[in-house]
Homo-oligomer: A and B are copies of this chain.
């Protein structure tokens, strides 16, 4: 730890310069989903190449059919020190509705708020501010010690906000350059403003679309109402049968691969004292509605779900049309945990709907795509080192958290490169990512840089 203290001092001292560099990146309008911003995405990639090159990295822009990748190699292994890959993304979400922004989205401002100063701009939290915490930690290390603490590969993509079409092909064709002992990913949040979190469980997902077909054409309910099968009724019955009275999913084999939560992890989550009433109250709800016997936090972080995300059929416009429709449709998604197999669950969904059909109705189920859940090895020494390093930086000890959603790159690192990910991020719940007036706390930025310096030091040790 002897060489850490001057690095932390340097970080604090250089904060204005670090912020200037972040602002330069934030001014680049790198919206990946809109082809009008293709040049801006290239500019952001080039900015990273130049910045990292200036720090001594061997940095290169790799063009793809979409937006470029940036790969930078630097540092040397010290004895048994691990080779680490850092991942972030330089692209950002669109800014609509622009009229709701209180300052221009690509003109970063430091703003005083009751919770302290914040950096206000599109991408401030997702993910430019976060990725720069790592870059600035590297810079401080090099400034102080003349070298990085271990072998590092920095990897940035520019398509994270537009489904990452080039990511898997790029991983597959650059295994050698990208394979490391552990990936570090900075695209998640804190538990709360004082409690850092390492996200160790991500739910997987499988989605499907169901169409129930009855008559060849829409029918008039006066002429046919009674003897003609109504696909909306049939679909509603089949949907209603997907859950039992306890909120459990009734699909055959749905819970295969779902294990009870490790008691020590459960105890840690319980200690977080998650306030379900406050969590639900913020969106106008009051009572956890899901699977009986599990807290809201357990449900979101560790239990699988089956939800209907869309339903439609018949006449849905103004006024009334007494139609018996020919078809009815639903979009369904399952969030997966543990060892649940997306393909098997897709097959069980298909069987459920097909078996629920009365005569004269057929169900077509298109299972779109799937990814299993991700569980990180919390008992590995590197995770424990990172947890202690984070706990040293922040007022409260770091927690191992779950995440109800998915971060696809983490699964791809496992599948393509057989590499686990350490997910550490400094975002806060009110950062308004993907929304107008996105911000990143200046404290997150400063202590985020310091956190990565500590983690790098601990992992290299």
Contacts and interface: CB of A to CB of B under 8 A. Distances in A.
Contact of A227 (B300, B313, B314, B328): B300
B236 A307 contact: no
- Identical chains bound together, number: 2
A404 interface: yes
Interface string A325-346: 1001111010100000000000
A286 interface: yes
A192 to B, nearest CB: 16
A93 to B, nearest CB: 14
Nearest to A221: B307
A66 interface: no
A309 B321 CA distance: 7
A171 interface: no
A359 B214 CA distance: 34
A336 to B, nearest CB: 11
B360 A286 contact: yes
A205 interface: yes
Contacts of A228: 280, 283, 285, 289-290
Contacts of A80: none
Contact of A311 (B219, B232, B280): B232
Contacts of A328: 311
Interface in A294-334: 294, 296, 299-300, 303, 305, 307-316, 320-325, 328-331, 333
B335 A221 contact: yes
A309 B300 contact: no
Interface stretch (A237-245, A252-260, A263-271, A446-454): A237-245
A126 interface: no
A223 B230 CA distance: 34
A328 B454 CA distance: 49
A227 B312 contact: no
Nearest to A240: B240
Given A315-B310, A331-B315, A404-B225, A285 B215 contact: yes
B300 A310 contact: no
A309 B214 CA distance: 14
A285 B215 CA distance: 6
B203 A335 contact: no
A286 B221 CA distance: 17
A74 B222 CA distance: 36
Contact of A283 (B215, B221, B296, B329): B215
A390 interface: no
A207 B319 CA distance: 10
A288 interface: yes
A308 to B, nearest CB: 4
A287 interface: yes
- Which of A296, A309, A312 is most buried by chain B, counting CB atoms within 10 A of its CB? A309
Contact of A207 (B203, B279, B320): B320
Interface in A192-232: 203, 205, 207, 214-217, 219-230, 232
Contacts of A303: 226
26 contacts: A214-B284, A215-B285, A216-B284, A217-B283, A219-B283, A222-B404, A222-B405, A223-B404, A224-B283, A224-B300, A225-B307, A226-B291, A226-B404, A227-B276, A228-B283, A230-B289, A230-B308, A233-B239, A236-B236, A236-B237, A236-B240, A237-B240, A289-B360, A312-B312, A314-B331, A316-B331
Given A221-B309, A287-B359, A310-B316, 16 more contacts: A207-B320, A214-B285, A215-B284, A225-B333, A226-B290, A226-B296, A228-B283, A232-B310, A239-B240, A240-B241, A287-B360, A309-B315, A309-B325, A311-B312, A312-B313, A320-B333
Interface of A: 203, 205, 207, 214-217, 219-230, 232-233, 235-237, 239-243, 276, 279-280, 283-291, 294, 296, 299-300, 303, 305, 307-316, 320-325, 328-331, 333, 335, 358-360, 368, 403-406
**What 6 A-B pairs have minimum CB-CB distances, sorted nearest first?**
A222-B405, A226-B299, A216-B284, A310-B314, A240-B240, A227-B296
